[in-house]
């Protein structure tokens, strides 16, 4: 008999034998009656009503049939027919009917996963990436962070691994496609990630491990017949009778009837090229704000209480929200990086944004998160003069980024200010010496962010921080500005995943405006590859 048990509560110091004992106690049977137990999901329950944080486990348990056994009347226990989580997503070899190579643009999670699925199906895709490979890109980013030397084609936002390469590598997602999610996580494990990501409720990789995993991912694509080309920028597309016939890369045409466009939400030149080519875009909401930094020790104490520092808990995350009222918009935290550092990012000259990064051990002295305010299309109305198509959502972002660049000293140092200075509008001339990002300078953040964003942050941040006991607002440091949480545009596509304007063009991932984060982008890449395979199998 196969049984699923939820809410199996175990102490922080549990070991494997304790899982079997807890399962037997909850089922009301002997441990000897349990033949197999498999952990499906593991999370930390640190709610204040508990005396101590505990692990909450969901497990599939197989018990031997014996007389007199009845399932307890418990909503956390149910008999199941199939073992979960799902098995490997089946990828069958398919006859490739394409006259030319299927092209995937972008080596972020969406493009990498799309290319792998196509390669395993026998389509020998061509994956092009405007930036450099991981090793070369890492050196270029190091030069940018140390000296402010920017390469507009290969940087923190462009290159192998996508914008997420220099981040925390968070793998949380609300996507319902369990089989595709599990397939992506299995692939990461195959490429070197810990098996814990298959069961942890909030798994993460860390930027240091991501670099190794992404390189293994590329080799996996190549070993299945795919080709990967770096320093290859998409410059244009050829369309005949509303059908894709080719793309322009580094000034040369590549003939193709199928292209998965996974170029990411920072490739603004791609949006402009698509708009000029007649590909339909739709403005959508995004968000902007600041990145707030706090001592990680304070965060740990607020979340874990007296158990802060326990080796099985690690650095604590947080997630905070502020509901809109009659005077202010909503505010929420995004991309929280425990034990990490704030980082500067840029993909074009004289424009600067920020992000957060954690390594796999999350051992840094600070934690940081973006505090974001929604920006609606009404804040940047769409207009056209009949000849040139403008993308004011991008211009809205670029204006903040240019002001941040100037405020930071025009050398890609981040403008920053204590929270107290931001709230009082009395900015000090110096920053605290104890901060994660040393290439930062004191600045008036009100000169960077629009008024409605500043007003909302001023009202929201103190209330949000008050929800965490022991947090000292005077220790919070703000860095500006956070502008790249999502795309301001959506590339319209139909139910089959194709552009509504161009047959054969399959927008995918964050740049398409249909996903957010590593996992959902990868899943969108799987769907795009499946759509191409289906189209070519007709």
The 10s digit of each residue's pLDDT in 316-344 is 999 999 999 999 999 999 999 999 999 99
Backbone angles phi, psi at 384, to 5 degrees: -150, 145
Residues 361-382 have a mean pLDDT of 92
Give the separation between CA 182 and CA 90, rounded to whole angstroms. 12
The DSSP secondary-structure symbol of 493 reads B
Token pair 């007296």 is found at 306
Predicted pLDDT of residue 88 = 56
User: Percentage of the chain with pLDDT > 70?
Assistant: 96
pLDDT digit string, tens, across residues 492-534: 999 999 999 999 999 999 999 999 999 999 999 999 999 999 9
Tokens of 343: 């980082």
Task: Tell me the average pLDDT across 193-201.
Answer: 95
Average pLDDT across the chain, whole number:
93
* CB contact burial 448-479 (16+ within 10 A = b; e otherwise): bbbeebbbbbbbbbeebbeebeebeeebbbbb
The span from the CA of 517 to the CA of 323, in Å, is 23
pLDDT score of 86: 58
pTM of the model as a whole = 0.94
Q: Where are the domains of the chain?
A: 2-79, 103-280+487-536, 286-482
Phi (first) and psi of residue 296, to 5 degrees: -65, -30
Q: Any idea what DSSP says for residue 478?
A: E
Distance (Å) of CA 141 to CA 168, 196, 284, 358: 16, 29, 30, 16
Is 213:186 a contact under the CB 8 Å cutoff?
no
pLDDT in tens, 462-485: 999 999 999 999 999 999 999 999
| Predicted local distance difference test score (pLDDT) of residue 390 | 66
55/380: higher pLDDT: 55
**CATH code linked to domain 2-79:** 3.30.70.2700
pLDDT the model gives residue 142? 97
> Is the Cβ–Cβ distance between 516 and 486 less than 8 Å?
yes
pLDDT 10s digits, 7-49: 999 999 999 899 999 999 999 999 999 999 999 999 999 988 8
Choose among 426, 473, 476: nearest CA to 446: 426
Strands 331-345, 366-375: pairing kind: antiparallel
Segment 83-106 shows an average pLDDT of: 75
pLDDT at 65 over 80: no
Distance CA 328, CA 322 (A): 10
Confidence of residue 84 (pLDDT cuts 50, 70, 90): low
Quick one: DSSP state of residue 76? T
pLDDT, residue 387, reads 41
pLDDT at 254: 97
Using omega within 30 degrees of 0 as the cis cutoff, is the peptide bond preceding 413 cis? no
Say what the pLDDT of residue 173 is.
Answer: 79
CB 108 within 8 A of CB 162: yes
Q: Which tens digits make up the pLDDT trace of 389-404?
A: 568 999 999 999 999 9
103-280+487-536: which CATH topology? Answer: FAD/NAD(P)-binding domain (3.50.50)
Asked if residue 171 has pLDDT above 80, the reply is yes
380 or 394, higher pLDDT: 394
- Per-residue confidence band for 206, with pLDDT thresholds at 50, 70 and 90: very high
pLDDT of residue 386: 46
CA–CA distance, 330 with 323 (Å, rounded to integer): 5
């Amino acid at each position: 008999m196969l049984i699923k048990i939820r809410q199996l509560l175990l102490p922080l110091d549990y070991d494997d034998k304790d899982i079997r004992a807890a399962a037997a106690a909850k089922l009301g049977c002997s441990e000897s009656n349990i033949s197999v137990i498999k952990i499906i999901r593991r999370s930390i329950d640190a709610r204040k009503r508990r005396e101590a944080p505990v692990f909450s486990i969901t497990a599939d348990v197989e018990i031997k049939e014996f007389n007199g056994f009845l399932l307890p009347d418990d909503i956390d226990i149910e008999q199941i027919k199939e073992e979960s989580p799902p098995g490997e997503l089946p990828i069958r070899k398919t006859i490739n009917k394409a006259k030319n190579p299927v092209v995937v643009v972008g080596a972020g999670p969406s493009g990498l996963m799309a290319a792998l699925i196509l390669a395993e199906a026998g389509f020998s895709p061509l994956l092009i990436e405007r930036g450099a490979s991981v090793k070369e890109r890492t050196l270029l980013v190091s030069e940018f962070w140390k000296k402010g030397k920017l390469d507009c084609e290969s940087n923190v936002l462009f290159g192998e691994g996508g914008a997420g390469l220099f981040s925390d590598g968070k793998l949380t997602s609300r996507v319902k496609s369990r089989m595709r999610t599990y397939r992506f996580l299995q692939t990461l494990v195959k490429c070197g990630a810990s098996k814990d990501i298959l069961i942890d409720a909030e798994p993460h990789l860390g930027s240091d491990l991501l670099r190794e995993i992404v390189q293994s991912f590329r080799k996996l694509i190549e070993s299945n017949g795919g080709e990967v080309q770096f320093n290859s920028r998409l410059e244009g597309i050829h369309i005949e009778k509303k059908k894709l016939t080719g793309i322009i890369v580094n000034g040369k045409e590549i003939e193709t009837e199928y292209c998965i466009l996974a170029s990411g939400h920072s490739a603004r030149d791609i949006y402009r090229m698509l708009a000029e080519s007649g590909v339909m875009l739709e403005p959508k909401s995004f968000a902007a704000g600041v990145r707030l930094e706090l001592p990680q020790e304070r965060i740990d104490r607020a979340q874990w209480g007296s158990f802060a520092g326990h080796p099985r808990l690690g650095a604590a995350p947080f997630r905070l929200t502020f509901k809109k009222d009659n005077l202010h918009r909503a505010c929420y935290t995004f991309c929280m990086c425990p034990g990490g550092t704030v980082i500067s990012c840029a993909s074009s000259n004289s424009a600067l944004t920020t992000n957060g990064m954690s390594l796999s051990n999350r051992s840094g002295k600070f934690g940081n998160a973006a505090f974001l305010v929604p920006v609606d299309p009404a804040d940047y109305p769409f207009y056209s003069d009949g000849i040139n198509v403008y993308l004011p959502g991008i211009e809205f972002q670029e204006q903040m980024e240019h002001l941040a660049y100037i405020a930071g000293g025009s050398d890609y140092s981040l403008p920053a200010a204590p929270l107290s200075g931001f709230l009082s509008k009395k900015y000090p001339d110096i920053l605290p010496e104890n901060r994660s990002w040393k290439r930062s300078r004191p600045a008036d953040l009100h000169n960077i962010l629009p008024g409605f964003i500043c007003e909302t942050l001023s009202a929201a941040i103190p209330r949000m921080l008050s929800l965490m006991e022991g947090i000292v607002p005077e220790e919070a440091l703000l860095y500006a500005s956070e502008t790249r949480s999502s795309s301001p545009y959506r590339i319209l596509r139909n139910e089959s995943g194709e552009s509504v304007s161009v047959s054969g063009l399959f927008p995918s991932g964050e740049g398409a405006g249909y996903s957010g984060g590593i996992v959902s982008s990868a899943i969108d890449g799987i769907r795009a590859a499946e759509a191409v395979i289906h189209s070519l199998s007709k």
